[in-house]
Structure 1
Amino acid sequence: MELRELFGRAGEGSPTASLWGHEDSEAAIYLDSYMDLAPDSLFVAVIDGVLVGYLTGCLDSSKFPGEGERISRAIRKHRLILRPRTLSFFARAMLDTAWAALRRKPTAGDFHDARWPAHLHINVAPEARGTGAADALMSRWFDRLEETGSPGCHLQTLVENTRAVRFFRRMGFAEHGPTPLVPGIRYGDKQLHQQTMVWNP
């Protein structure tokens, strides 16, 4: 499937390229669930007949399985605990969580606020960056939010993904709340931190 193939390469070179190096389980969390449960909020970008980007969204996060729940399902379905590569990720995540608890520091989690009930994920192929594909996807998503009378939208990215943060700011999102540690994930051997951003119509 073309969309599935794009999922595998859209994040290349960014801190969000992969969680634990198992593409099927990551796609189950961030793509398949949306295709199954919110197909009306899936938009694609095509240039010269080639799929170069997509946006998945949800109008009401309270009615959609949370990220933690989707991750747990993927872990069980794909038996990630039994895979050496993913096992090392989860061991590191447990250590990170324990260390954060000792220091009384928060760790990343789902975001729930009735002011911003909708949320989204967006992926654009590296070769399509700067073409306007991402802007067009966001514009269509904003249209959908306004058509349905949504009071607001949130998303979660990484503090260290500065390209994404700049893009979302340009789209009208603003940083909101703390920036907790994301357990387990590393980029250049450095820990990463969750950034919640919000948008109002």
Structure 2
Amino acid sequence: MTKAHIRLATPADLPRIYEICLLTAGAGGDGTHLYSDPKGPGYMHAAPYAVLEPECAFVLDDGTGRAVGYIVGTPDTAAFEDRLDAEWWPDVRAAIAEMPVACDKDAVLIERAKGGHRRDPSLLASYPAHLHINILPPAQGGGWGRRMIQTQLDAMRARGVTGLHLGLDPRNVTAIAFYTHLGFRDVSVDSDLVYGMDLRTPA
């Protein structure tokens, strides 16, 4: 990883983004067993950002052009959710129409693909942006997670974003500690664990 670097994602990175999302979908570990469709977690948490918000989609390149991590997001969650319903979920519904409901997360994917999912407006009032980040275990460490987060925060601040949030799996205690150390705090408003950061102040 001596030549590793963070760069904007390109359309050529999309298959790898799906793969990384699957391999980290189990509370940071391999989630292959959780989805009948290997693109399942990517449909929900990664690919639409790379397609619809390419200016906020970055990958960690291992120095050979191969992505070993990504960070994606949107500066306006409410507007992005509307775009998902209009531009993303119809194609996903068609792609998974014949998918068997055989794994733990299949029903979650099917429900999400129906559209209409909206985050709590009270959360978005203070934290309108959100992000998703995943790095493959061999590439973790070395400060890359922190650098990727900072890259995204800089991109969001450049767009005038005042606050940003992200969802966390409560089982992933390492991630919770990581975000707490970076200055995120628990801003959950319902049963989901959500951490946020006010971007009007220095990181």
TM-score by length of 2: 0.70
1:31 counterpart = 2:46: yes
Match of 1:8 in 2: 22
- The corresponding residue for 2:8 is none
Higher strand content, 1 or 2 = 1
**Partner AA of 1:129 in structure 2:** Q
Matched to 1:14, the amino acid is G
Residue equivalent to 1:121:
132
SS of match in other structure, 2:81:
coil
Q: Could you tell me how far apart the structure 2 residues matched to 1:16 and 1:149 are?
A: 35
Q: Which secondary structure state, in structure 1, belongs to the residue aligned with residue 166 of structure 2?
A: strand
What is the CA distance between 1:73 and its match in structure 2?
6.6
Amino acid at match of 2:61: V
Residue 102 (structure 2) aligned to one of 61, 70, 85:
85
1:13-24 paired onto structure 2 within 5 Å = 14=28, 17=31, 20-24=35-39
* SS across alignment from 2:162: coil
Query: Taking structure 1 as the reference length, what is the TM-score of the superposition?
Result: 0.71
Counterpart selection for 1:51 from 37, 43, 67: 67
Give the superposition deviation at 1:78: 0.4
Aligned position for 1:140: 151
Q: 2:11 maps to which residue?
A: none
Kindly state the Cα deviation for residue 35 of structure 1 after the two structures are TM-superposed. 1.6
The answer on whether the counterparts of 1:11 and 1:125 sit within 8 Å (CA) in structure 2 is no
Contact 2:36 2:100 in 1 (8 A): no
Gap regions ≥5 residues in structure 2:
1-14, 112-116
CA distance in 2, matches of 1:71, 1:160: 28
Native 8 Å contact 1:155 1:197 kept in 2: yes
Give me the identity figure in percent. Answer: 20
AA in 2 matched with 1:28: Y
Distance verdict in 2 for CA 1:147–1:173, change over 3 Å: same
Deviations 1:8-65 (A, max 9, x none): 3234663783654422232222222112210100011123434221001000011112
1:161, distance to aligned residue in structure 2 (A):
1.5
User: Conserved in 2, the CA contact under 8 Å of 1:53 and 1:133?
Assistant: no
Query: What is the DSSP-based 3-state SS (H/G/I as helix, E as strand, rest coil) of the residue aligned with 2:50?
Result: helix
CA pair 38-28 structure 1, distance change in 2 beyond 3 A:
same
> Is 1:64 matched up with 2:70?
no
Native 8 Å contact 1:11 1:124 kept in 2: no
1:185 is aligned to none
Q: Greater RCO between the two (CA within 8 Å, min separation 6)?
A: 1
Q: 1:88 to 1:14 in 2, by over 3 A?
A: closer
CA contact (8 A) 2:168 2:175 kept: yes
Do the aligned partners of 2:35 and 2:103 also contact (CA within 8 Å) in 1? yes
Q: Which amino acid aligns with 2:46?
A: L
> Is the Cα–Cα contact under 8 Å of residues 45 and 52 in structure 1 kept in the other structure?
yes
2:173 — aligned with what? 162
Q: Tell me, which stretches of 5 or more residues in structure 1 are unaligned?
A: 95-107, 181-193
CA RMSD in angstroms, aligned pairs only: 3.3
The Cα shift of 1:200 comes to 0.6
